[in-house]
Amino acid sequence: MVAVLLPLLAAVSLTAPPAVAATRAAVPTATLTEVTNFGANPSNLQMYLYVPAGVTAHPAVVVAVHYCTGSGPAMYNGTEWAQLADTYGFVVIYPSVTRASRCFDVSSPQALKRGGGSDPVGIKSMIDWVTRTYSADTGKIFATGISSGAMMTNVLLGDYPDVFAAGAAFSGVPFGCFATTDGSEWNSACANGTVTHTPREWGDLVRGAYPGYTGRRPRMQLWHGTDDATLRYPNFGEEIKQWTDVLGVGQTPAATDTPASGWTRTRYGSTGDQAPVEAISLQGVGHNLYTYGMASRALTFFGLGASGPVPQPGACRVTATTSAWSTGLTASVTVTNTGTTTINGWQLGFTLPAGQTITNGWGATYAPSSGGVTATDASYDGTIAPNASVSIGYQANHTGNSAAPAAFTLNGTACTAS
């Protein structure tokens, strides 16, 4: 299993920062810290924690689960969850496997049952520790993970539906798909995408993890590349079948769009950013699909964008100019962070003058092409330090009005236009 998933090492940094040990007291802020003696831990997981300096009162909690061969510190280094926590004030838990494979247990009977033992119990103890220590908001606890961590995200939402509000799984498989009874951690049939069930059968596997539970179920966001050769693409469709059934919504998308080139996003049960199920398919992308900026999209799905400090009016400045010809124009836009905190992941909102339609752009993805437009950061320019700027632009057709947009919002908050 380690050999199969080893390519993830190329995609995510494994350099572990020093970790400060902590037990019962609140951990230091703005540093990755190992917490010990956090509660029941039958599979000897390690707990790493990141608490931002600006942690909010009653913070939300994100559990960020690593891939096979990874670790909590590697997940800390290789994703932007800690930087997002600095911006929005939530706490991040990074569980870390100690077994030889460095893979999470998503296959044993113990793992696939609420309170059954193994890794889910240890992760639940970590959440309980954070809830006690920081008076965390129990209505805002979320799980996300990559590969093995994505599979564990499915498992956690199945085992503990009363704990989690939502999850985001990057390159995973449905709850119960990897189940084995011989002690093996690997299920080739599932990995190869040959395990199929009806939506009801998949849903029953989830419901069977917590028999008798009739409460609210967590929402699920799913990501998968069409060229995934490790956990093959049919698993994406099976996950959709499972979670739409669990959440009681139809199999037909309520909305379909293309938020970035090569991406197809379908939403089930509603059309908004917090639909019951959201699924993003990445054309031509393999198993190592996670890139910078995706965590910000998961954060939007979680509904955490307004849970902590965000750029305030006057904390951003936008300069926009156009150069026009008979029926077209080129626009140059500069976004400056005039605040005192780093912006990690951004969406710039503006309205095009009537008659303008964007034909292509750079520095961001633009959707839709006319009317009220949202420009979402590219992988290389998503961070804007205080007093720093990023420059983006687009080309557009026009029918006579070649002016630049007059007003802008950054992450939903008005900017000064100049």
Q: Annotated active-site positions, please?
A: 147
Q: How far apart are CA 52 and CA 90, in angstroms?
A: 7
Residue 102 near residue 36, CB atoms below 8 Å? no
Integer CA distances (angstroms), 69 to 7, 79, 260, in order = 10, 16, 30
Number of residues that make up the chain: 418
Pairing mode, if any, of strands 343-344 and 383-384? antiparallel
* 44 close to 100: Cβ distance less than 8 angstroms: no
| Distance (Å) of CA 189 to CA 192, 195, 211 | 5, 6, 27
Query: Which candidate, 253, 136, 159, places its Cα nearest to that of 210?
Result: 159
At 267, is the secondary structure helix, strand, or coil? strand
Instruction: Name residue 144's beta-bridge partners.
Output: 64, 168
Q: Are 348 and 331 in contact (CB under 8 A)?
A: no
End-to-end CA distance of the chain: 55
Beta strand segments in 243-399, E: 255-257, 263-268, 277-282, 316-324, 328-337, 343-344, 347-351, 357-362, 364-367, 372-377, 383-384, 389-397
Helix boundaries (H) for 172-211? 188-191, 199-207
Task: State the alpha helices, DSSP H only, in 247-357.
Answer: 294-302
Of 169, 146, 147, 154, which is closest to residue 120 (Cα–Cα)?
154
Lookup result for tokens 């908050």: 413
Give the C-alpha separation, 36 to 14, whole Å: 22
